[in-house]
Amino acid sequence: MKKYECPCGYVYDPEEGDPTQGVAPGTAFEDLPDDWTCPQCQAGKDLFIEVE
């Protein structure tokens, strides 16, 4: 699965999910709720870019 990076440097890794917001491991970035935000800086999903 693809990883996505926030401008603040946080990388969302689908294999890890986001335990701080109750996102289970294995959740693709595209499947995150529209109101999900970066756990470090609270930026919206629209600011994330795909990374290798």
Domain that holds residue 37: 1-51
The neighbouring-strand residues paired with 18 are 23
- Report how far residue 44's alpha carbon sits from residue 47's, in angstroms, rounded to the nearest whole number: 6
pLDDT of residue 24: 98
- Looking at residue 51, its pLDDT comes to 97
How high is the pLDDT of residue 52? 83
C-alpha to C-alpha distance for 50 and 17, rounded to whole angstroms: 16
Total structural domains within the chain: 1
For 8-38, write each residue's pLDDT tens digit: 999 999 999 999 999 999 999 999 999 999 9
pLDDT band at 40 (very low <50, low <70, confident <90, very high): very high
Phi, psi of 47 (to 5 degrees): -95, -10
For 16, counting Cβ atoms within 10 Å of its Cβ (0-12 exposed, 13-18 middle, 19+ buried), the class is middle
What's this model's pTM, rounded to 2 decimal places?
A: 0.93
CA distances from 28 to 9, 21, 49 (A): 19, 14, 14
Q: What is the CATH number of the domain that holds 46?
A: 2.20.28.10
